């Protein structure tokens, strides 16, 4: 934190946040929409899915949402890691990457991202919906409170993050290579895994998980709360 502040001041902590804000809306919408659609396709009883059906639906939703906005994930990482004065905005970053590294560079790390999002989204959505449905079965006349939804969302997010974070770590490393001062070191996801474990052990795959918890857990919890309240409001109309 001190190093980031010393290099770019408080504004440095918000590098890439514009891209993050731009992508989070369609990403969340795609995730929840795909989850409900896939659940209708794979579940024998969509209103009472079993755990495996929830996992499959969540994994499919994660793949759809991640693929739909992935170039913005790469841009977000590049902008966040850029030094002061190096970046000129989202569109400029997209054009620069395409011109200097080729269009495929906008999908660098996609394999690792999908490998991580499948268990993350599967576990996250399955755990959350299991907790919510269990509460509804125990208290059929009571609507889940905001606190219960936030707590369930936080717990489900932590479960998913613990399982999937190594893939997120690898994805970030693959996205960052090719930037000024960051030469291409890895030939792909498996090579990145091998080098990371060789240099830093298994702990190297979880480097940065604490700030990720601090960011993702409240964000996911709030997204679930908004989703549930909007869904309830639409159902009453």
pLDDT tens readout for residues 24-81 = 888 888 988 999 899 999 888 888 888 888 889 989 998 999 898 899 888 888 888 7
Q: Are 16 and 74 in contact (CB under 8 A)?
A: no
Domain boundaries along the sequence of the chain:
2-236
Burial status of residue 9 (CB atoms within 10 A of its CB: 0-12, 13-18, 19 or more): exposed
Comparing CA positions, the residue from 65, 73, 95 lying closest to residue 22 is 73
Per-residue model confidence (pLDDT) at position 80? 80
CATH 1.50.40.10 fits 2-236, yes or no: yes
- Positions in the chain whose pLDDT score sits under 70: 1, 4-5, 7-8, 12, 14-16, 84-87, 237
Per-residue model confidence (pLDDT) at position 159? 92
Per-residue model confidence (pLDDT) at position 201? 93
Q: What are phi and psi of 178, to 5 degrees?
A: 105, -15
């Amino acid at each position: 934190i001190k190093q980031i502040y010393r290099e770019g001041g408080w504004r440095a902590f918000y590098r890439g946040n514009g891209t993050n804000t731009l992508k989070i809306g369609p990403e969340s919408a795609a995730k929840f929409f795909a989850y409900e659609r896939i659940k209708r396709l794979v579940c024998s009883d969509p209103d009472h899915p079993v755990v495996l059906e929830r996992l499959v639906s969540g994994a499919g939703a994660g793949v759809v949402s991640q693929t739909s906005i992935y170039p913005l994930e790469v841009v977000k990482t590049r902008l966040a890691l850029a030094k002061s004065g190096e970046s000129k905005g989202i569109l400029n970053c997209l054009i620069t990457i395409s011109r200097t590294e080729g269009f495929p560079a906008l999908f660098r790390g996609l394999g690792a991202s999908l490998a991580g999002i499948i268990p993350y989204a599967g576990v996250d959505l399955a755990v959350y919906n299991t907790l919510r449905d269990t509460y509804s079965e125990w208290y059929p006349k009571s609507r889940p409170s905001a606190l219960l939804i936030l707590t369930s969302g936080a717990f489900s997010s932590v479960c998913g993050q613990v399982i999937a974070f190594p893939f997120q770590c690898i994805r970030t490393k693959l996205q960052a290579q090719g930037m000024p001062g960051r030469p291409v070191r890895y030939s792909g996801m498996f090579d990145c895994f091998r080098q990371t474990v060789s240099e830093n052990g298994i702990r190297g795959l979880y480097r940065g998980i604490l700030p990720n918890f601090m960011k993702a857990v409240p964000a996911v919890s709030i997204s679930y709360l908004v989703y549930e309240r909007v869904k309830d409001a639409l159902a009453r109309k």
